[in-house]
């Protein structure tokens, strides 16, 4: 960013001083912008302008404070002072908003006297997603403007609202089509002509109070351990109970405290990590291949979810199934998914009709796949079946088509090798339900061409996914690590913990669901198949194994889909209760293995589980399966319910301290030195006094 005058251009249009922010790409409120705003207001006053118009150049009004400055010593002028300076101006100050007015951006708008926006503008206070609260009097001004409850809804969820909703809530005064400059100037002229008064929100009466403690507790509970949404409640309480200036000071104190937390660090890490995953050196300057029509082979839950996601992204989809009956079922599944989108208002009826009738074609013939730019296979997870599909695909796909497998652990090199074009083959590992889950692992085989990888990322972007590059290994990044930490949990069960204690301890840590509740949701047959395969391949004699879960499956209990698994779902998925058949099976397994059970504390459960996760993640990074630690973090955040406020397992490990974790692992190895072999990368980092974040930085260059 350049000087203040460059960051905020000043221009007079008659009586109106126009301040145009110029800080691409999102007009973040960095130091020069803040300085530029103060100087612009002062100049307008000195020159005797009657009104000031503030808007953003390019695609957006201010999208927020400059997140890159967070955690560093703050630079003057501070944002709250800039807001106060704007509001205190004797001139009429108008904001014209387009794009996304977020966080500090909306706080600037709230300190101007009038707000107008284009219909497509969006706004919000997303600070909670960064582990913070609004810190430039947003918690004081917004409730004065729209009342406590509506303001708290916006702040505690961090959700974005559209211009129409903002208008009806009273956040803004007017919505008009046009460029921000046009609509802002017209509005300011009108305000001058009608002698409109200044309208400082801080001078509005304090809002009506609510039951603060009850609301605080409810918000805390909803956040599953995340503190910042609940602290919004305390800041807004200050707006009701304290004079404006003291309320601002109270907000500032809370903001500063949160700035020092691990949660803030974790969430800001997540923010930048999810933007860094797609930045790969091999993709620099590489153009993706064209993508308009795709084909999906296999219309089960996964294939239908992928097709739904592609249709929603505006692609045309040909779905191949084995028989007309199976094709009809696939169509029903897709239509079912799309009707969910219709209900939630994501598409309208005309869109629904177009997607199901025109954009989607069902077929039972491979010959109909010849026009597809990209084909994704989502058939049964069996190597021979996949190879057969790829042989057929190789015969019919047009030259240059990208051929993708949705396998979740099979060797993509082996699949690619049955085609005459292995450079066109890659893995696209979606997570179920594929039209909902945001994670996409893009698996690069030995011979995958860079533009094929780029096309995978382009597809992910169009579908609104967070795409992570992964190398080939059993389970890629996510499932490989999952398999390891799940084993650590299984070992704890053998040694005396219950699945329910483990789930509860990990849910208290912040996971959306504990591992056994997840297993029930995914289907216990999946793990059963993996165990059978691994046993058939030959387990290392030192590896611990357990059979209680096999007994559950043999009895027909596959989890939620059969009504019973680790839990009993008779009263519904949310009202899960432990299945009483499970404990005796575990006890029998322990007895057969001669294990005397012992008690585990919740802390020990979390510690062992996380140590296993971090250790395997370190191997995954060390072997180059994941390029950087942040790729692991994003995978676990988006595919495995890892609590975002902890940043991801490797960010968590950094904050926890790698030497202590390594020491724990060495301690566990005294009981089981096969499972608990320290990852060489972890040992190296500890020896060199480095962190995973250092590796992220080295990779960024």
Rounded to the nearest whole angstrom, what is the least distance from the CB of residue 120 to ligand COA in the complex? 13
Counting beta carbons within 10 angstroms of the beta carbon of residue 673, is it exposed (0 to 12), middle (13 to 18) or buried (19 or more)? exposed
- Say whether residue 48 binds ligand COA (CB under 6 A): no
Within 10 angstroms of residue 556's Cβ, the number of other Cβ atoms is: 9
Rounded to the nearest whole angstrom, what is the least distance from the CB of residue 70 to ligand COA in the complex? 8
Number of residues that bind ligand COA (CB under 6 A): 17
Catalytic residue, chosen from 39, 87, 127, 377, is 127
Nearest of 98, 132, 121, 95 to residue 110 by alpha carbon? 95
Dig out the tokens for 407 from the structure: 């396998």
Residue 170 Cα distances to 115, 161, 237, 311, angstroms:
10, 12, 20, 36
Q: Which is nearer to ligand COA, 134 or 499 (CB)?
A: 134
688 is catalytic: no
Helix and strand totals (H; E) in the chain: 30, 19
127 is catalytic: yes
Rounded to the nearest whole angstrom, what is the least distance from the CB of residue 168 to ligand COA in the complex? 22
Counting beta carbons within 10 angstroms of the beta carbon of residue 9, is it exposed (0 to 12), middle (13 to 18) or buried (19 or more)? middle
- Say whether residue 130 binds ligand COA (CB under 6 A): yes
Catalytic residue, chosen from 39, 107, 451, 656, is 107
Q: Which is nearer to ligand COA, 158 or 643 (CB)?
A: 158
Rounded to the nearest whole angstrom, what is the least distance from the CB of residue 27 to ligand COA in the complex? 9
- Say whether residue 127 binds ligand COA (CB under 6 A): yes
**In a 3-state reduction of DSSP, which class is residue 20?**
strand
User: Is the Cβ–Cβ distance between 554 and 531 less than 8 Å?
Assistant: no
User: Is the Cβ–Cβ distance between 450 and 444 less than 8 Å?
Assistant: no
- Say whether residue 25 binds ligand COA (CB under 6 A): yes
- Scanning 23-31, 80-88, 414-422, 688-696 for contacts with ligand COA by CB under 6 A, the matching segment is 23-31
Within 10 angstroms of residue 561's Cβ, the number of other Cβ atoms is: 15
Position among 22, 100, 304, 407 found at the interface with ligand COA (CB under 6 A):
100
- Say whether residue 467 binds ligand COA (CB under 6 A): no
Q: Which is nearer to ligand COA, 108 or 519 (CB)?
A: 108
Q: Which is nearer to ligand COA, 108 or 488 (CB)?
A: 108
Rounded to the nearest whole angstrom, what is the least distance from the CB of residue 268 to ligand COA in the complex? 9
> Which residue(s) pair with 16 in the sheet?
13, 51
Position among 7, 16, 19, 28 found at the interface with ligand COA (CB under 6 A):
28
> Which residue(s) pair with 443 in the sheet?
427, 470
Rounded to the nearest whole angstrom, what is the least distance from the CB of residue 190 to ligand COA in the complex? 30
The footprint of ligand COA on residues 1-20 (CB under 6 A) is none
- Say whether residue 678 binds ligand COA (CB under 6 A): no
- Say whether residue 103 binds ligand COA (CB under 6 A): yes
Q: Which is nearer to ligand COA, 1 or 522 (CB)?
A: 1
C-alpha–C-alpha distance, residues 378 and 556, integer Å: 25
- Say whether residue 120 binds ligand COA (CB under 6 A): no
Counting beta carbons within 10 angstroms of the beta carbon of residue 384, is it exposed (0 to 12), middle (13 to 18) or buried (19 or more)? exposed
C-alpha–C-alpha distance, residues 137 and 249, integer Å: 9
Dig out the tokens for 575 from the structure: 């009202």
User: Is the Cβ–Cβ distance between 624 and 443 less than 8 Å?
Assistant: no
- Scanning 22-30, 166-174, 197-205, 555-563 for contacts with ligand COA by CB under 6 A, the matching segment is 22-30
The footprint of ligand COA on residues 236-295 (CB under 6 A) is 275
Task: Give me the 50-89 binding string for ligand COA, x by CB under 6 A, dash otherwise.
Answer: -------------xxxxxx---------------------
Q: Using H for helix, E for strand and C for coil, what is the string for 191-255?
A: HHHCCCCCCCHHHCCCCCCCCHHHHHHHHHHHCCCCCHHHHHHHHHHHHHHCCHHHHHHHHHHHH
Position among 36, 56, 80, 126 found at the interface with ligand COA (CB under 6 A):
126
**Residues noted as catalytic:** 107, 127
Q: Which residues of the shown chain bind ligand COA in the complex (CB under 6 A)?
A: 25-26, 28, 63-68, 100, 102-104, 126-127, 130, 275
């Amino acid at each position: 960013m350049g000087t203040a005058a460059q960051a905020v251009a000043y221009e007079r249009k008659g009586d109106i001083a126009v301040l145009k922010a110029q800080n691409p790409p999102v007009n973040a409120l960095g130091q020069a912008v803040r300085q530029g705003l103060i100087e612009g207001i002062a100049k307008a006053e000195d020159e005797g302008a009657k009104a000031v118009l503030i808007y953003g150049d390019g695609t957006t009004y201010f999208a927020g404070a400059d997140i890159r400055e967070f955690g560093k010593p703050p630079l003057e002028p501070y944002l709250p002072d800039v807001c106060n300076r704007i509001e205190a101006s004797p001139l009429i100050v108008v904001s014209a908003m387009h794009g996304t007015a977020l966080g500090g951006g909306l706080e600037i708008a709230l300190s101007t006297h009038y707000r107008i926006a284009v219909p497509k503008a969006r706004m919000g206070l997303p600070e909670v997603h960064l582990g913070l609260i609004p810190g430039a009097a947003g918690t004081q001004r917004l409730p004065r403007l729209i009342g406590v409850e509506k303001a708290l809804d916006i702040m505690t969820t961090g959700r974005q609202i559209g211009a129409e909703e903002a208008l009806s809530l009273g956040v803004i005064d007017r919505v008009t089509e046009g460029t921000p400059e046009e609509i802002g100037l017209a509005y300011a002229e009108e305000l001058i002509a009608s002698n409109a008064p200044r309208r400082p929100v801080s001078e509005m009466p304090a809002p009506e109070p609510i039951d603060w403690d009850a609301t605080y507790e409810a918000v805390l509970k909803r956040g599953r351990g995340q503190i910042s949404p609940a602290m919004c409640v305390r800041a807004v309480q200050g707006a009701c109970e304290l004079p404006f200036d003291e309320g601002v000071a109270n907000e500032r104190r809370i903001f500063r405290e949160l700035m020092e937390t691990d949660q803030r660090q974790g969430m800001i890490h997540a923010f930048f990590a999810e933007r860094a995953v797609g930045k790969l050196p091999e993709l620099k300057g590489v153009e993706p291949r064209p993508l308009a029509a795709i084909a999906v082979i296999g219309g089960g839950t996964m294939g239908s979810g992928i097709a739904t996601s592609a249709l929603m992204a505006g692609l045309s989809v040909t779905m191949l199934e084995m028989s007309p009956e199976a094709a009809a079922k696939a169509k029903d599944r897709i239509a079912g998914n799309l009707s969910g989108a219709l209900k939630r208002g994501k598409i309208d009826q005309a869109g629904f009709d177009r997607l199901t009738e025109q954009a989607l074609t069902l077929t039972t013939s491979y010959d109909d796949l010849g026009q597809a730019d990209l084909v994704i296979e989502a058939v049964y997870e069996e190597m021979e079946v996949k190879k057969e599909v790829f042989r057929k695909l190789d015969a019919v796909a047009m030259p240059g088509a990208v051929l993708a497998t949705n396998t979740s652990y099979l060797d993509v090199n082996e699949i690619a090798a049955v085609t005459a074009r292995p450079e066109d083959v890659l893995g696209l590992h979606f997570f179920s339900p594929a039209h909902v889950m945001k994670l996409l692992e893009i698996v690069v085989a030995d011979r995958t061409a860079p533009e094929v990888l780029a096309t995978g990322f382009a597809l992910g972007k169009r579908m609104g996914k967070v795409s992570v590059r992964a190398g080939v290994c059993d389970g890629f990044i996510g499932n490989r690590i999952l398999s390891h930490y799940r084993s650590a949990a299984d070992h704890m069960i053998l040694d005396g913990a219950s699945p329910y204690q483990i789930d509860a301890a990990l849910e208290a840590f912040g996971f959306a669901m504990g591992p056994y509740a997840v297993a029930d949701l995914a289907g216990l047959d999946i793990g059963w198949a993996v165990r059978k395969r691994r046993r058939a391949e030959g387990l290392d004699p030192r590896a611990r194994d357990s059979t209680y879960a096999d007994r559950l499956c043999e009895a027909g209990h596959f989890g939620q889909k059969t009504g019973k698994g680790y839990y009993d779902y008779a009263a519904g998925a949310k009202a899960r209760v432990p299945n009483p058949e499970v404990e005796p099976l575990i006890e029998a397994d322990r007895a057969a293995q001669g294990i005397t059970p012992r008690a585990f504390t919740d802390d020990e459960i979390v510690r062992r589980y996380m140590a296993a996760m971090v250790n395997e993640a370190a191997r995954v990074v060390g072997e180059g399966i994941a390029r950087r630690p942040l790729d692991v973090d994003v995978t676990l955040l988006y595919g495995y319910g890892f609590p975002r406020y902890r940043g991801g397992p490797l960010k968590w490990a950094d904050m926890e301290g790698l030497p202590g974790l390594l020491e724990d692992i060495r301690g566990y190895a005294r009981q089981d030195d096969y499972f608990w072999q320290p990852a060489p990368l972890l040992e190296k980092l500890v020896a060199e006094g480095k962190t995973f974040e250092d590796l992220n930085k080295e990779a960024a260059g």
